[in-house]
Structures are given as structure tokens and as C-alpha cells.
Structure 1
Amino acid sequence: MGLFLLWFFFGIGVIIQGVYLLVIFGRTAWFKSSGKSSKTNIPEEGVTVLVAAHNEFQNLKVLIPKLFEQDYPKFDVMIVNDRSTDRTKRLLEEMMEIYPKLRSVTVKYTPNHVTPKKFAMTLGIKVAKNDVILLTDADCMPSSDQWIRKMTAPIREDGKTFSIGYSGYQTKSGLLNKWIQFETVLTALFYLSFGLWKAPFMGVGRNLCYRKSFFLEAKAFKGFWHLEGGDDDLFVNNYATGKNSAIVIDPEATTVSIPKETWKEYLVQKKRHLHAGKYYRGEDKRKIGLFSLSHALFWIGGLGLLIYFGIGQQWEQFLIVFGIILLRSIFVWNIFSAAAKKIQGSTPPMNVLVNDFLYLAYFWVLGSVSYQSKDIQWK
């Protein structure tokens, strides 16, 4: 009976993992651009780049000049100064004298019934000059001077409401950074691939674009004002569809963020991100859950069979199981490498095969803790 269960677990895991890796994630890994260039007969629509910042003096000092290097004729930058106690206010005043298209609004306090970032973002969106809103964070940098043009094109030119892009992290030395690179690409494989499949379920606020008019009409944060986080993925989860959304896969349309330097900082960040998943639609929870369950069944069944056949010196069966595990590992490595190259133009060191195994603990331990947690914070 035990051997049957191990084969059953392993078989189910192999089949479902194969579907995810080849059919779903393959959409991103082997994505081919349509080759369409921007439509030249459409007037350039104004864009507002929106950044909500709390005590981000050092990052804003670098980000603001970088934003004004963008090769796009009609845009402004709105910085929401959210209760900052550092030199942010003085910096913005100085920068506004240098950059006429830089604007700011200050949040002095947050009402009790809302969370700080959602309140800051809502205020910024309400006073934004343009209807096309492009979001990023203070610690993010556009990967090229074409970022605004390419991220907003589906909305400006194709009538979409949402434009969902990729945001990666700087490559640094150390095991933590390799894990961050791996987990970021894996997350992107989920939301970019399902988006390409006309079933979008999340986006990242570090690189997300939508229309102000839709946001205000939908009262976009209604229902999850009280949640820390979710201003990006829950908004997309609630309102994005296959018809009103577009996925932008282009290395020139990405942003790059500063990664966490310590495991403690990283775990606090991921707790907030994973907690938002608790409020996804049921069908979207199942998309992630089925992958993670099949991933666990694959490794539990596979390792169990290797141990069983190894102890019993049944080397023919041992080699069959080992060969299947090796084949999946080759697919995983190739898909992750191809996806990273496709979406960000390079393949960062990710320790793909080791981190693929460690994902078991990440999802089932940290995911469970985050799901139950009530002490989630932004800043």
C-alpha cells in the first residue's frame, strides 16, 4: 500500500508539473513578440508616473532624475509624500524647481479605517493630472528610457484598462539574493503566463499601469482598505480580465528594485505579499495551490521511491525514478533561464535546482504563517 501511494503521489506530481512547466509557464519562457510597433497615427496621451513614498529621501534623490530621462513627450511625475519624517519634503521642493513636471502631495495623517499606502495612493491618483497612471516604487529604477512608452502602450493605443509588467531585483552576491531572484522569476511565471492565457490574476505595484477613471469609478480599494498590501495584486485580482488587460514582456519595459539585505527584512516583506493571497478569488488560489501541491507530491513521492528502491537495491526502478526527476530538473532550469532572459534580458544567478526544492518549505511554512498572520505592516 505504501509503495502504491508513493507511485500515486509521484505520478500525479509528474503530470500536473508537466502541464504547468510546459503548457503554462512555457507561454512566458517561449514568448514571441507580435512585432507590432507603436501606432504612429495616435496622438501621445499624457501619463502620470505615481510613487508613494514614506521616508525615501535617499531613493527619491536617485529616482527622480532617472524618471525625467524617459523618452516620452507627455508625462509628469507625482510623488506622494506619506508622513515622511526625513528630508523628503525638502528634497521634493528642491527637485520641483529643477523639474517643472514634478508634482507632490503630502499625507500628514492616515484615517483609522484605512491603511497608509492605500490612502496615499488614492490621494495621489485623485489629484493626478493624467488619466493614464503608471506605478512604481521609490526604490525602483526603469530599465530603459522606453519604460513609459512601452508600459503604457496597451492602454494608450489598444484600449486596455490594465497593463501588467515585470519588476526584478538587483543582482548581488549571497544566498539570499539568489533566492530572491528565483522567487521573483517564479512569481512572474505565474502572473505573466496566466495573463498571456487571458486569465490575469495579479500584478506588481512596482510596474503596473491602469486608468485613473477606472480606478475612481470602481472605488478600487473597496473591500480591502484595511489590508496592508494588496494595492496592486488585489486590485488586479478583482478587476482585471482577459479582455481589459495586457501583459508587457520586454526588457526595456521593466523596473529593477533594491533587494532586501537580510533574511529578517525579506521575510517581513514576503509575509505581507503572501498574506494578500488569502483574499484572491477562489479560482486564482487554486492556480497557485495546484502547482504547489503537485510540486510537493512530486518531491515526496520521488524521494520516497528513491529511498525505497535504494534500500531494496532495485536499481532498474531506482534509475527510472531518478531519470524522471532529472528530466524535470532539466525542464525547470531551461524554463527559468529562458523566462529570465525573455522578461529582463539577462539570466541572473538563481541556483534554480536547489531553490526549486527549497520552495517546499517556502510555500508550505512561510505561506501558512503569512495566511494566518495579523501583524502585517507597510512602513
Structure 2
Amino acid sequence: MGLFLLWLIFGIGVSIQAVYLLIIFGRTAWGNFTSSSKNSGNEEGVTVLIAAHNEYKNLKNLIPKLFEQDYPKFDVMIINDRSTDRTKRLLEEMMAIYPKLRSVTVKYTPNHVTSKKFALTLGIKVAKNDVILLTDADCIPNSDQWIRKMTAPVREEGKTFAIGFSGYQKESGMLNRWIQFETILTALFYFSFGLWKAPFMGIGRNLSYRKSFFMDVKAFKGIWHLEGGDDDLFVNQYATGSNTAMVIDPSAMTLSIPKSNWSDYLIQKKRHLHAGKFYRGEDKRKIGIFSLSHALFWLGGFGLLVYFGIIQSWEQFSVVFGIILLRSLLMWRVFASASKKIQGSSNQLNTWINDLIYLGYFWILGTVSYQAKDIKWK
């Protein structure tokens, strides 16, 4: 009975993982994606919008980069959210250099709302243009075509959302290798389901939508009190298969500064994972089924290897090991191909090791984040 149960657990895990890797994630890994032409017909005005709290150093680097964009009609709005560093002085100096740079200052946040949502809402309300492109202060566009390509679905195709990718700078060390792996895995989820006309999340480091839509739905109605979720929960509420586009193009991505220590990283991911608690039930299942089958695959596989190793049934041991090896090779191939499509390079993602780390990451950190009540932005 015990052996049958192990085979059953392993078999369910293998089957569901195959569906995700070959069919769902395969849409991203092996799809053909065409980006908009460099010279499009509709060059509607765009406002690049950034909420910043004590981001002096990052803004000093970012602002000049933004004004290198090859797009004729755009301005940049920086929301200075209660900063106590030299952000205000920097913005005053930069506005003298760049006429299309504007700022608004948040001096306090009302008790009934969370700080970042309040800052973004204020910025969007005073934005000059109807097309909004969001990013963060620690992000750098990967090319001078970022604005053009990220906003093309909204400007030219009438889409409500254009969802892009934001990667992290490659550095040495185990933490950065895990960050690279987890970032691609997350992108596989939201890009792949989006391509299958079932979008459920986006990331605020690279997201576009219209100001008029934002105002029509009364901004962050229903999620004001939640820390985080200004991107994924907002998209989760309103994204559909017909109104949302995935922008998969290395020249349309942004590149962020990764966390340099595990403590800061875990605080960040705790906030991100906590937002998933408020997804629609069907969207929770998209991640939950993958993670459950992933756990069944490894638990059943290890159980069978131990059992057949003890009884020295090397033929059956080899069969189980072969299935594990085949699935791991498939996962490596999917990640390598998807990484190439999304960010232009297939970095060494240490897929085998990080695939096992994911067990603890999802089930331990995910559980802690789900139950957390001390989530804050800054």
C-alpha cells in the first residue's frame, strides 16, 4: 500500500508538471513574439511615473537615463513620497535641466490608505498624459525603445494593460542566482497565463495603462488598506484575456538593483507573496496547482528512490531517477529558452539546486507571508 501511494504521488506530480512545463510555460519558452515597429503611427503622449521614498541615489542615476528614450512625446513624473534625504533638492536641480521632468510631493499619508497607493494615485491624477508607464526608482530601461514598446499595446491596440518584464542585475553569489531563477519563474507564470488569455498579475516595475481607466474604476478601490498590490492586485481585479497584452521583448524590459542580503530580500518577498492572499480563487489555483505538483513530484520521487535503494531494486531505482532527470532537463530547457526570449540571455540559473530551494521558499515563506500582518512598503 505504501509503495502504491508513493507511485501515485509521484505520478500525479510528474503529470501536472509536464502540463505546466510543456504546454503552459512552453507558450512563453517557445513562442514567436513580434514587437511594434520603431516608427509607429500613433505617438500619443506618455507619462512615466515613479513613486520614490528616499531614493536620491537611484533617481540621480535614473532620471538622465529616462531622457535618453527615443520617443517624441513623453514626460516624467516623480512622486516624492515623504522623503527625508536629498530627493527634493535633486528634483529641483534636475527639473532645471530637463523641462519635461515634473514632481509632486507627498507630505503625509491618510490613515485609511497605504503610502505607495496614495502616492501613485496623487501622481496619476496630475499626470499630463492619458497613457501611464510605471516603473521604480531603482530600475533602468534596457534600451531607448522602452517607452515606445511598452506602451504600444495601450496606444495602438486599445489594450487596458501592457505587462512587461523587469529583471535584476547579475551579480555573484547564491542569493543573486536564486533571485535570477525566481524572477524568471514568476515571469513564466504571468506571461504564460497571459498568453493563454488568462492574465492574473503584473509588476509595477514595468506596467502601462491609461489614466482614464484608472480614474473610471476609482483607483485602488477595495485594496486601499492592503500594503502592496498596487500592481499585481490592481491587474488581478481588472485584467482579462481581451484587454491585456504581454510585452515580451528584451528592449522593452527594465533592469533593477537586486537585494544584496537575504534579510532584505526576504522582507521584500514577504510583501510580494502576501499580496497573493488576495488574488481571485482561480488565480491562486494557477500557482497552487504548480507548487503542489512540484512538492508531490519531489516527495514521491525521493521516497521511491529511498525505498528502491533500501531493497536494492536498481532497475526500478533507475526508472525513477531517469524520470527525475528527464523532468529536470526539461525544466532547464524551458527556463533557458524563456530567459532568452524575455531578457535576451539565458543566464546560468542553477535550475537543479534552485528547483529544490523552491520547495522551502513556497511552502515556508509563502505560509509565513500569507499569515503576516506586519507588511509595509517603506
Query: Aligning the two structures, in what range does the TM-score lie when normalised by the shorter sequence?
Result: over 0.9
Indicate whether 1:108 and 2:91 are aligned: no
- Counterpart contact for 2:249–2:341, Cα < 8 Å: yes
Q: What displacement does 1:116 show? A: 0.4
- Counterpart contact for 2:42–2:155, Cα < 8 Å: no
**In structure 2, what is the equivalent of residue 336 of structure 1?**
335
**In structure 2, what is the equivalent of residue 311 of structure 1?**
310
Query: 2:35 & 2:170 partners in 1: Cα distance?
Result: 29
**In structure 2, what is the equivalent of residue 4 of structure 1?**
4
Residues 1-379 of structure 1: matches in 2 within 5 Å? 1-34=1-34, 37=37, 40=40, 42-379=41-378
The SS at the match of 1:168 is strand
- Counterpart contact for 2:42–2:156, Cα < 8 Å: no
Query: 2:51 & 2:234 partners in 1: Cα distance?
Result: 16
Q: What displacement does 1:31 show? A: 1.8
Task: Write out per-residue CA displacement over residues 319-348 of structure 1, whole angstroms, 9 at most, x where no aligned residue.
Answer: 110000000010010110111111000122
List runs of 5+ in structure 1 lacking aligned partners: none
Query: 2:196 & 2:232 partners in 1: Cα distance?
Result: 17
Query: 1:36 & 1:204 partners in 2: Cα distance?
Result: 21
Task: Write out per-residue CA displacement over residues 164-205 of structure 1, whole angstroms, 9 at most, x where no aligned residue.
Answer: 000000000000000000000000000000001111000000
Q: What displacement does 1:350 show? A: 1.7
Task: Write out per-residue CA displacement over residues 331-373 of structure 1, whole angstroms, 9 at most, x where no aligned residue.
Answer: 0101101111110001223211100011000000000000000
Between the two proteins, what is the percent identity of the paired residues? Answer: 78
The SS at the match of 1:48 is strand
Task: Write out per-residue CA displacement over residues 221-270 of structure 1, whole angstroms, 9 at most, x where no aligned residue.
Answer: 11111111100000000001111110000000000000000100000000
1:36–1:254 Cα change, 3 Å: closer
Task: Write out per-residue CA displacement over residues 19-70 of structure 1, whole angstroms, 9 at most, x where no aligned residue.
Answer: 0000000111112024663674x33100000000000000000000000000
Read off the aligned partner of 2:212 and give its amino acid letter: S
- Counterpart contact for 1:12–1:298, Cα < 8 Å: yes
1:36–1:255 Cα change, 3 Å: closer
- Counterpart contact for 1:57–1:86, Cα < 8 Å: yes
Read off the aligned partner of 1:259 and give its amino acid letter: P
- Counterpart contact for 2:130–2:210, Cα < 8 Å: yes
Q: What displacement does 1:126 show? A: 0.3
Query: 1:184 & 1:75 partners in 2: Cα distance?
Result: 29
Query: 1:277 & 1:12 partners in 2: Cα distance?
Result: 25
1:164–1:318 Cα change, 3 Å: same
Comparing 30-39 and 248-257, the one that deviates more: 30-39
Read off the aligned partner of 1:258 and give its amino acid letter: I
- Counterpart contact for 1:340–1:347, Cα < 8 Å: yes
* TM-score of the aligned structures, taking structure 1 as reference length: 0.99
Query: 1:348 & 1:35 partners in 2: Cα distance?
Result: 23
Read off the aligned partner of 1:24 and give its amino acid letter: I
Q: How many residues align?
A: 378
1:9–1:135 Cα change, 3 Å: same
Query: 1:271 & 1:239 partners in 2: Cα distance?
Result: 24
The SS at the match of 1:76 is strand
Task: Write out per-residue CA displacement over residues 285-306 of structure 1, whole angstroms, 9 at most, x where no aligned residue.
Answer: 0000000000000000000000
Query: 1:34 & 1:341 partners in 2: Cα distance?
Result: 14
1:331–1:194 Cα change, 3 Å: same
1:227–1:36 Cα change, 3 Å: closer
- Counterpart contact for 1:38–1:153, Cα < 8 Å: no
Task: Write out per-residue CA displacement over residues 63-117 of structure 1, whole angstroms, 9 at most, x where no aligned residue.
Answer: 0000000000000000000000000000000000000000000000000000000
- Counterpart contact for 2:301–2:324, Cα < 8 Å: yes
Query: 1:22 & 1:250 partners in 2: Cα distance?
Result: 21
The SS at the match of 2:200 is coil
TM-align CA RMSD: 0.9
Read off the aligned partner of 2:368 and give its amino acid letter: V
- Counterpart contact for 2:35–2:249, Cα < 8 Å: no
Read off the aligned partner of 1:23 and give its amino acid letter: I
* TM-score of the aligned structures, taking structure 2 as reference length: 0.99
1:38–1:70 Cα change, 3 Å: closer
Query: 1:35 & 1:116 partners in 2: Cα distance?
Result: 35
Query: 2:130 & 2:330 partners in 1: Cα distance?
Result: 42
Query: 1:130 & 1:34 partners in 2: Cα distance?
Result: 26
Deviating beyond 2 angstroms after TM superposition, the runs of 4 or more aligned structure 1 residues are 34-40
